[in-house]
Amino acid sequence: MKKITYLFILCFGLLSSEIFAKNNVMILKLTYGEVQIELYPDKAPNHVKRFKELANSGKYDGVVFHRVIDGFMAQTGDVKFGNTNSPDFNLALAGTGGSELPNLKAEFTDIAHTRGILSAARSADPDSANSQFFICYDSAPHLDRQYSAFGKVIKGMEFIDMIKKGDPNSGAVSNPDKIISIKSK
């Protein structure tokens, strides 16, 4: 009987972890292809919850990559001024807005900012993250424990690499690529 109980627990554990993993994988559609992003709710639960809420409600659909620095990162997520589907769209203001939800408290983790890491963009105030995020092109150790990393690209990083780059100094992109959609897998 003990063996059956252990077998049941093992099978249930494997099944539930597979379901949990699927619930924390997002599909980011770009014109270049689909990108899979694994989220880390155990590391930054509030950032993951916000990201999923905005993504699954369609708030990120049509949002531009307003700041892209080759070899560093691609930033997007301004659902107020960066959404090409919105009457408030204003490329000159993209990067200054967020959602109508309150800002998030920092959730600094031990996750290193390496290639493919998804992290929350913010102002100088560590507790100012809202909807904007960035994906690292390369290692950026100066961001470690300074920004809330909450996921990683697990498939399709080559499509992130294809995003139009901006000015080498400011990262501003004059004719930016945009998110087609982000949804849970």
For every residue of 58-73, DSSP letters joined together read TTTTTBB--EEETTTE
Q: Which secondary-structure segment (H or E) carries 158?
A: helix 157-161
3 state DSSP class of 154:
strand
**Cβ neighbour number for residue 184 with a 10 Å cutoff:** 13
Q: What is the pLDDT of residue 171?
A: 96
Domains plus CATH for the chain?
Answer: 26-184 (2.40.100.10)
How does pLDDT run across 19-30, given as a tens digit for each residue?
444 589 999 999
Q: Which of 17-31, 33-47, 60-74, 152-166 has the lowest mean pLDDT?
A: 17-31
How does pLDDT run across 54-77, given as a tens digit for each residue?
999 999 999 999 999 999 999 999
How does pLDDT run across 4-17, given as a tens digit for each residue?
544 444 444 444 43
State yes or no: pLDDT of 32 exceeds 90: yes
By the 8 A CB rule, do 77 and 133 touch?
A: yes
State the sign of the Cα–Cα–Cα–Cα dihedral 96, 101, 103, 108: negative
State yes or no: pLDDT of 37 exceeds 80: yes
Q: How much is the average pLDDT of 38-66?
A: 98
- Identify the CA nearest to 99 among candidates 85, 119, 79: 79
Q: How much is the average pLDDT of 79-84?
A: 98
DSSP structure class, residue 55 = H
Q: What is the pLDDT of residue 19?
A: 40
Q: How much is the average pLDDT of 144-167?
A: 98
How does pLDDT run across 83-134, given as a tens digit for each residue?
999 999 999 999 999 999 999 999 999 999 999 999 999 999 999 999 999 9
- Identify the CA nearest to 108 among candidates 67, 149, 139: 149
pTM of the full predicted structure? 0.88
